[in-house]
Amino acid sequence: MRFQTSVCLLALSFTAACASVDPNEAYPKVAPFAETVAVGSTGDAADDPAIWINENSLEESRVLGTDKQAGVYVYDLSGKVLQFLPIGELNNVDLRQGVMFGQQTVDLAAATNRTINGVSLFEISSDGTVEHAGDFPVETIEPYGLCTGYDESGYRVFVTYKTGQVEIYSLASEGGAYAATLENTLKLESQLEGCTYDEFQNVLFVGEEATGVWRIDLDRHQEFSRRAIDRVGSPTGLVADVEGMDIWRGPTNSGYLVVSAQEGDRYVVYERSAPNRWVGTFAITGTLDETIDGVSHTDGLTVTSVGVLPESPTGILVVQDDSNGDDGLTQNFKFVSWKAIEAALSAPAN
């Protein structure tokens, strides 16, 4: 799935000769197969999604999506709203399934909540019903981005900040009540938001919005090594803000890291395993019948490799769209088949 950019695209930010060219003209395009209704708040509202897999009925899987002015929505795979939990200014959300606390096994989501300056937790039942399960405070003012992980170190919540900090919390549960412990704080130079954790590699991927994508290898809660796998302005098409990211998980260590290059209205894909080579870059356009509009300025995203729908046997990508239609006032989430992305990135360059 190697894709190369054109000479004109690489020169776009440096020469007037290409000024009238669509900055994504040289990148392949894919179209959504579904979208959600717009979130209830207007302006900068929809932010970050997470996918819950219904292992008993894949087509009954769910998508959680935050309205950062109000709470979290729960959607089915057609984009229909099934629930809305109005519990505060939730920014980023992530989840892990099959989490064990002693003899209890739960599917557990977490989201940064600026209203309480902390993290809100949600349990997801076997039928996909989401319930608020508690909160915990964080050490630093204004929690921003978030991702979760579950491995031999337990259930962990990684909270990112505009200050460049990453706080690592471990979670415990006793009698159904959750408690968090701050295990470590990492520091990068500037504003962070998007992150994703790879349990197989013990790696935290973090987006430094104005700089690039970082790979941080961990030994439990401690940083073992740090390396930038891409920089803003590189030939991959990565531009600021570096925003949402998630891992399409193949067998063992195979798969891809997907990153939103927000100002470029595009997505950059890297190999999951080191050295995290660039695979390709794509954009999301509207459907041919114009029933679903294209996607711009994506903030959060999530991806799964589970074939939740027959027409999407290798999974789906869910992205935030900062302008649902032409009004510029409402935002929603778009659903894209990973099969379409695979086909687009395998196509020859324009």
* The predicted structure's pLDDT at residue 328: 72
Whether cis (ω within 30° of 0) applies to the bond prior to 219 is no
Note whether 314 and 35 are within 8 A (CB): no
* The predicted structure's pLDDT at residue 176: 79
* The predicted structure's pLDDT at residue 347: 66
Note whether 197 and 147 are within 8 A (CB): yes
Three-state secondary structure call for residue 299: coil
Question: Could you tell me what percent of the chain has a pLDDT over 90?
Answer: 88
pLDDT band for position 15 (cuts 50, 70, 90): very low
* The predicted structure's pLDDT at residue 301: 98
* The predicted structure's pLDDT at residue 22: 64
Note whether 212 and 238 are within 8 A (CB): yes
Q: What is the CATH number of domain 7-346?
A: 2.120.10.30
Element (H, E) at 219: strand 212-219
Note whether 26 and 280 are within 8 A (CB): no
User: What residue type is assigned to position 330 of the chain?
Assistant: T
Question: Could you tell me what percent of the chain has a pLDDT over 70?
Answer: 92
* The predicted structure's pLDDT at residue 348: 58
Q: Give the pairing of strands 278-284 and 29-30.
A: parallel
Instruction: Give pLDDT tens digits for 286-320.
Output: 999 999 999 999 999 999 999 999 999 999 999 99
Whether cis (ω within 30° of 0) applies to the bond prior to 275 is yes
Q: How far apart are CA 217 and CA 197, in angstroms?
A: 10
pLDDT band for position 10 (cuts 50, 70, 90): very low
Average pLDDT of the segment spanning 121-146: 97
User: What residue type is assigned to position 170 of the chain?
Assistant: S
Three-state secondary structure call for residue 75: strand
Whose tokens are 């002015």? That residue is: 69
Instruction: Give pLDDT tens digits for 70-122.
Output: 999 999 999 999 999 999 999 999 999 999 999 899 999 999 999 999 999 99
* The predicted structure's pLDDT at residue 249: 98
Average pLDDT of the segment spanning 46-71: 98
Instruction: Give pLDDT tens digits for 204-223.
Output: 999 999 999 999 999 999 99
The residue among 44, 91, 84, 42 whose CA lies nearest residue 62 is 84
Q: How far apart are CA 281 and CA 266, in angstroms?
A: 7
How far separated are the first and last CA of the chain, in Å rounded? Answer: 15
Note whether 263 and 240 are within 8 A (CB): yes
Q: What is the DSSP string of 145-182?
A: EEEEEEETTEEEEEEE-TTSEEEEEEEEEETTEEEEEE
The torsion angles phi and psi of 280, rounded to 5 degrees, stand at: 175, 175
Q: How far apart are CA 284 and CA 36, in angstroms?
A: 15
* Out of 144-153, 171-180, 256-265, least confident range: 171-180
Between 349 and 155, residue with greater pLDDT: 155
Instruction: Give pLDDT tens digits for 221-256.
Output: 999 999 999 999 999 999 999 999 999 999 999 999
Three-state secondary structure call for residue 350: coil
Residue 16 scores a pLDDT above 50: no
CA angle, 243 then 206 then 338, to 5° = 60
Domain boundary assignment for the chain = 7-346
Instruction: Give pLDDT tens digits for 183-204.
Output: 999 999 999 999 999 999 999 9
Q: Whole-number mean pLDDT of the chain?
A: 92
CA dihedral 344, 49, 118, 190 (to 10 degrees): 20
What is the gyration radius of the CA atoms in the chain, in angstroms?
19
